[in-house]
Structure 1
Amino acid sequence: MHFSKMFLMNLGMLITVAYLANLFYKYTLSRLSARVKYSLSVLLMIFGGWISSFFGFQLSENVIFDLRIVPLIIAILAYSRSYYILIIGVGIGLTRFTFGISQAAFAGFINLAILGVIGMLLNEWLRRSDYRLMIKVMITILTVNLINTVNIALFGVITAHEYLTAIVPYTLPLSIVLCFAFALMLRDFQLDQRRMYEIESANARLSEQTLELQKAKIVLEERAKQLMLASQYKSEFMANMSHELRTPLNGIINLAQMIMESGQELSEDELKQYGEIMYGSGHDLLLLINDILDLSKVEAGKLEIVQEDVNVSETLLVLISHFELEAAKKGLELELEEQPGLPELIYSDPKRLQQILRNLLSNALKFTHNGRVRVKAHLEKELRSGQKGNWIVFSVEDTGIGIPPHKQHVIFEAFQQADGTISRRYGGTGLGLSISRDLARLLGGFILLKSTEGQGSTFSLYLPV
């Protein structure tokens, strides 16, 4: 009867220690490294063995009966490294000396050290065996309890005959039953913990998925706004394009009709004037179609670049000559500045270089009402980004209407303009800068913009020498 009370008290204390250890782990140790947690679990097993001895049944002054083998059994079933079993067995054996140094204490130490070695072997067998878990648990409990009984009979201070006949019939069955009950409770507790962990993991995954969905929603909303803006820009572009196409076409058709209906009545000067108007309209229409074709070729990656030697000074003089008359009509000063040190030749595509510079200069003249437009060329050895090398810079400066800062990144995009009414006020499709930017990239360079609203703009084409 005393053994039953003692063993039940031992079991209760072990359950209490396990519960308190779980709380301590949950709120204190869960963020520690795996190695530290593993080491603390070993100390917990040893402490569990000491608690069993502390609340054990003291048969005599030095003889204590308890369930100190239970933590060792749990370690055999739970640990993945067998040498920890030996450490736990020896550790529990050493705690026996805290109750006094005696022959019984030495016998208890030897018993637990032997059980530690047996536990190592059982742990290796468990990890290699294909038996069901409950069979493994039963074999482990029976083996440890039987060897514990044999060790006490061989090394204990009580005679083997007295121990086997008077004590073992009570302690062995009770120890096996309580060990098995504790193993079942621990297994049930472990399953609950696993279920809780799975629920927490599922909740964490759901939270992450919810966050990802929210981010995806924001991205979709942003893309929807971009699509709406793109649709708006394309609608404006189509409206401008239809206006630009109709204007020269209507002029050509009307003049052609007038010539057809009253050609004989028209004087030579009138025919020449009508011809010049038709030529100008046809030229504008051709430029418009070329812009659209160039943009489509660039976007399709089919625009060919022909690299050859390009004379810098000649290119600039040809550019200026094309726009001198237009500048004079608007009363603008058109200046050319070539800084010293410019190379005579660069290796690039002369046609596309002229196209970029014409677009930039045409825009500068279009949006400048008074003042001047200056074309400059100079060399730079190192860019602000830290990129080194020889770069030739063609800059077109004007004193025109300028561009507000929040619109400066928009004007280089196809179908987008700083102001949707720009094309209707000044003419053009708004594709020139987009095409120029893409052509600059194909030539290995880029275009930079500096502008102040109401004061003018500077577009700079950077090309590698």
Structure 2
Amino acid sequence: MQFSIMFVINLGMLIAVAYVANVIYKYGLSRTSSRFKYISSVLLMVFGGWISSCFGFNFSETVIFDLRFVPLIISALVYPRSYTLIIIGVAIGLTRFTFGLNMAAWAGFLNMSILGVLCAGLNYWMRRSTWRLIIKASVTILAVNIVNTINISILGVIPWRYYVAEVVPLTLPIGVVLSFLFALILRDFQMEQLRNYQIKKANQLLSKQRNELQKAKVVLEERAKQLMMASQYKSDFMATMSHELRTPLNSIINLAQIINEQGKELDEDELYQYSELIYASGHDLLQLINDILDLSKVEAGRMEIVNEPVNVLEIAQVMMMHFEVTAKEKNLEFSLKVHENIPDEIRSDPKRVQQILRNLLSNAFKFTHEGRVLLEISTQHLDRKGQEGDWVVIAVKDTGIGISELQQHIIFEAFQQANGSINRKYGGTGLGLSISRDFSRLLGGFIRLESEEGKGSTFSLYLPMCPSESKEADEQEFKLT
């Protein structure tokens, strides 16, 4: 009866130790490193064995009966490394010396060391066995209890005949039953912990998914807003385009009708003036149509680029001649500045380079009322996207109305104008900069913008001196001031 009470007390102490350990882990060790948790669990198992000895049955002054081997059984079922079981067995054996240095202590130490080696072997077998967990646990519990009984009968200080005949019939069945009971309690406790952990993980996953859905909702709302804005921009563009197309077309039709109806009554000067107006209107109409076609070709990937020698200075001089009259009409200073070390030729598409510069210079003169427009040519060495290279920079600088920082991010996009009122005041479709940006990418270069509202703008076209074979489009760059 005393053995039964002692073993039940031992079991209760082990359950209490397990509960306290869970509280410490939950509120103190949950955020520590895996290594620290592992070491702490090993110490806990050793402590559980020592507690069992503290509340064991004193068979004599030196002999103690207890369930110190139960933590070793639990360790064999949970630890992934076999050598850990040897460490735990030896450590629990060493705790026996805290109750005195005698033959019984040495026997207890040797017994737990042997059980540690046994549990290491059982652990190795369980990790490779395909049997069910309940069968592996049963084999381990029975094996440890039986070997513990044999060890005590051989190594113990109690006469083996008395131990086998009087003690074993009580201690062995009780030890097996309580070992099973403690294993089941811990198993249920572990499953509860696992369920709590899974619920926690599920809540974290739901929270993460909720945040992702919220972000996706914000992105969708932003895209919907952008689509609405794009639709509005296209509507505004179509309204502007229809006006820009009708104006020269109506001029051509009206002037042609006047000539047709009053041709005999008109003198030579009037006919000459009307023909000039018809020619100018037709030229404007053709330019609008060319812009739309160029934009469509670029977006469809059907724009062909010719790679041939280009004399940058000749192109600059052609631009000077082309806009010289415009500068005089607006009373603006128009000059060309060429830096040193400009190469005689680069390889590019001269037609597209001229088209880009025409668009940039047209805008410069359109939005500049006083001051000057400067065409500047220089070279620059850049480390762009991890690749170093030399570039020819053709900059168009003006002292015009400038562009605000907010508007600088949209003026290069098709169907988006910096300000609708500006387009209505100055005319134009707003496609020039978009086409220029796309052409610069096709040429292997890019356009940078420096501008401040009310203080003018600088559009810089960067062309590579040695273009790569694949002219992959780069992102548009802005340098805001």
* TM > 0.5 fold call: yes
Amino acid at match of 2:217: K
2:478 aligned partner: none
Amino acid at match of 2:63: V
For each residue in 1:196-247, what CA deviation from the matched residue of structure 2 results, as whole angstroms up to 9, or x when unmatched? 1100010110111111111112212222222222222222111111110110
Structure 1 residue 347 displacement after superposition = 2.2
Structure-1-length-normalised TM-score: 0.95
Query: Any idea what SS the aligned residue of 1:421 has?
Result: helix
Amino acid at match of 2:27: Y
1:313 aligned partner: 313
Query: Any idea what SS the aligned residue of 2:395 has?
Result: strand
Amino acid at match of 2:134: M
1:346 aligned partner: 346
Within-5 A mapping of 1:123-162: 123-162=123-162
Aligned-partner Cα distance in 2 for 1:389–1:125: 65
Structure 1 residue 435 displacement after superposition = 0.9
Amino acid at match of 1:438: D
Amino acid at match of 2:294: D
Aligned-partner Cα distance in 1 for 2:384–2:78: 64
2:439 aligned partner: 439
Structure 1 residue 47 displacement after superposition = 1.1
Aligned-partner Cα distance in 2 for 1:336–1:6: 106
Within-5 A mapping of 1:213-224: 213-224=213-224
1:75 aligned partner: 75
- Of stretches 367-376 and 47-56 in structure 1, the one that deviates more from structure 2 is 367-376
2:472 aligned partner: none
1:458 aligned partner: 458
2:3 aligned partner: 3
Aligned-partner Cα distance in 1 for 2:146–2:377: 99
Query: Any idea what SS the aligned residue of 1:62 has?
Result: coil
- Of stretches 258-267 and 446-455 in structure 1, the one that deviates more from structure 2 is 258-267
1:262 aligned partner: 262
Query: Does 2:84 align with 1:84?
Result: yes
Aligned-partner Cα distance in 2 for 1:131–1:395: 80
Within-5 A mapping of 1:20-31: 20-31=20-31
Query: Any idea what SS the aligned residue of 2:401 has?
Result: coil
Q: 1:171 to 1:230 in 2, by over 3 A?
A: same
Q: 1:102 to 1:390 in 2, by over 3 A?
A: closer
Query: Does 2:188 align with 1:188?
Result: yes
Aligned-partner Cα distance in 2 for 1:383–1:4: 83
Structure 1 residue 177 displacement after superposition = 1.1
Aligned-partner Cα distance in 2 for 1:240–1:48: 86
For each residue in 1:230-267, what CA deviation from the matched residue of structure 2 results, as whole angstroms up to 9, or x when unmatched? 22222211111111011011111222222333334333
Amino acid at match of 1:39: I
Amino acid at match of 1:376: E
Query: Any idea what SS the aligned residue of 2:420 has?
Result: coil
1:274 aligned partner: 274
Aligned-partner Cα distance in 1 for 2:278–2:222: 46
Identity of aligned residues (%): 66
For each residue in 1:151-188, what CA deviation from the matched residue of structure 2 results, as whole angstroms up to 9, or x when unmatched? 11112111112112221222111111111111110111
Aligned-partner Cα distance in 2 for 1:128–1:384: 57
Q: 1:91 to 1:8 in 2, by over 3 A?
A: same
Aligned-partner Cα distance in 1 for 2:45–2:297: 76
Aligned-partner Cα distance in 2 for 1:222–1:453: 28
Aligned-partner Cα distance in 2 for 1:426–1:127: 82
1:167 aligned partner: 167
Q: 1:113 to 1:333 in 2, by over 3 A?
A: closer
1:400 aligned partner: 400
Structure 1 residue 387 displacement after superposition = 7.2
Aligned positions, number: 465
Within-5 A mapping of 1:228-307: 228-307=228-307
2:52 aligned partner: 52
Structure 1 residue 408 displacement after superposition = 1.8
Amino acid at match of 2:310: V
1:115 aligned partner: 115
Structure 1 residue 382 displacement after superposition = 5.0
Aligned-partner Cα distance in 1 for 2:153–2:312: 108
Aligned-partner Cα distance in 2 for 1:293–1:30: 66
Query: Does 2:38 align with 1:38?
Result: yes
For each residue in 1:322-342, what CA deviation from the matched residue of structure 2 results, as whole angstroms up to 9, or x when unmatched? 122222222223222333443
Aligned-partner Cα distance in 1 for 2:384–2:150: 86
Structure 2 alignment gaps of length 5 or more: 466-481
